Amino acid sequence: MTLRIDRLSVRYPNGYQALEHVSLTIGDGETVAVVGGSGSGKSTLVRGVLGLLPPGTAVTGMILLSGVGDLTGLREREMRQTRGRQVGYVGQDPYRSADPWWSVGHHVSEAWLVHRLRVPREQAVSRVAALGVGDARERLRDRPAMWSGGMLQRADIAAAAAHAPRLIVADEPTSALDADVARSALATLVAQSRSLLLVSHDLDMAAEYADRIVVLDGGCVAEELVVGRAGGGALEAVATRPATRALVGARAAGAGPRPSPTTGPAVASLEDVSLAYRGGSPVVSDVDLRIMAGEVIGLCGPSGGGKSTVLRALAGLLRPVSGRVRHGDTVLWSSEASRPSPGFVMPIFQDAAGSLDPRWPIWKTVAEAIVATSEGRIRLAAPETRRHAAELLRRVGLDDVDPAARPRRLSGGQRQRVAVARALGGDARLVVADEPTAALDSVHAAEMVGLLRELADRGCGLVVVSHDERRLRSFADRVLRVRDGQVVPA
């Protein structure tokens, strides 16, 4: 037995009961997936195994790791020695795990350096190349901001498996990857892991690679499914509890695309645009794209292919090498360029945690967009502003979360919903969303799709990047593929 969690209960210093009497086991060579809705306790379980719960947290029960003992009783110095050597970790947010000042190669090498070990020659390059990163030797010299989220996630996987630990804990390791790369990366992670605790929102992927699936609901174990890596089709046959059936049933959410608007002025457009970074080779070339009011355009394609780059150009955050970017009648980044009016475009970033001010309560983050587009009519401190922000939080399914909570107290999925609530509050004409459902379970992802579709139906233009092509096709009017420097119909 590699890991045995016995009646684990976790209560945070603010009194919130995150886990209650959770028990599960992971055998030698076994992969166990933990699934559940956002806020169900998955991340708390991960923090407990890694010894990263905040000071003052009340913990009862045991977390027994083979060869180490009860992790709940270890001092911090002992846990630092355990993390990495005995327990590897792949985080949900690759941008937060990488220091922006250091190269990606240094980030991978830290798996050895943090334990004062010499980095084996060529190990960082060979491990990252094995996960599908082309020209790995050169790319490892880049800073994290120059990599896509999917590529950075692969660097995290390489670092986590560096010491062949007894157990690897992977928290949403494929949420930033397209389907083909996700399967390849997860297959490599399973192959490199002696035992694996996989936290995921992707039920189909979990069923494909896990031996067992543990479903959390409200901090408790709702159900345990023996799937034996049988694939997603086995879930309908073995799921019996309501929480599990809700997750299974929401995987193919959406009513399908509608005819795209074809008349009237475009909300935004790219006209023969080529995009590059720091004078390098173009990431995408000769892009012509018009987004109409009320239209949802989906962008899919491989990690690192340029999807987020196109969004940055549409948001006015990246100057094109050639061509024009228009917001309505306004031309950006040319001789007659001018900035768009406040609130014209609202972004939903892939890095939800990085896009939220850690010092602000979440209601204030949402209210900022309301105030920015109010032309001075509404003050941030006004009571009606806070009420409006609370209503937006309710609309994205966060009515049970304290509006005064800071982002660090929220799960990854909850932070993403805060980012969507902020976009809803801005009354924008154009919304660009980078992986808005990647951190959400299937139930909340389906709800988010409904909110985004509703936003477009009110007349907003919407461009959504996602690795989940099936979900994109369930609500987008058009789906385009970004690959090999081109944007073409999918």
- Say whether 266-489 and 3-249 share the same fold: yes
At residue 335, the pLDDT reads 45
Q: Can you tell me the distance from the alpha carbon of 127 to that of 113, in angstroms, rounded to the nearest whole number?
A: 16
Non-local (6+) Cβ contacts of 266 within 8 A are 290, 291, 292, 326, 328, 461
Contact 168, 89 (CB under 8 A): yes
At residue 237, the pLDDT reads 57
At residue 337, the pLDDT reads 55
Does pTM surpass 0.85? no
At residue 333, the pLDDT reads 64
Q: Can you tell me the distance from the alpha carbon of 448 to that of 418, in angstroms, rounded to the nearest whole number?
A: 11
Locate tokens 């950075």: which residue?
152
**What's domain 3-249's architecture?**
3-Layer(aba) Sandwich (3.40)
- Given a cut of 50, the residues of the chain with pLDDT beneath it are 253-255, 335
At residue 341, the pLDDT reads 61
Provide the CA 457 distance to its chain's centre, in angstroms: 25
Give the residue extent of every domain in the chain: 3-249, 266-489
The CATH number of domain 266-489, selected from 2.40.110.10, 3.40.50.300, 1.10.15.40, 2.60.40.1180: 3.40.50.300
Locate tokens 């694996």: which residue?
196
At residue 11, the pLDDT reads 96
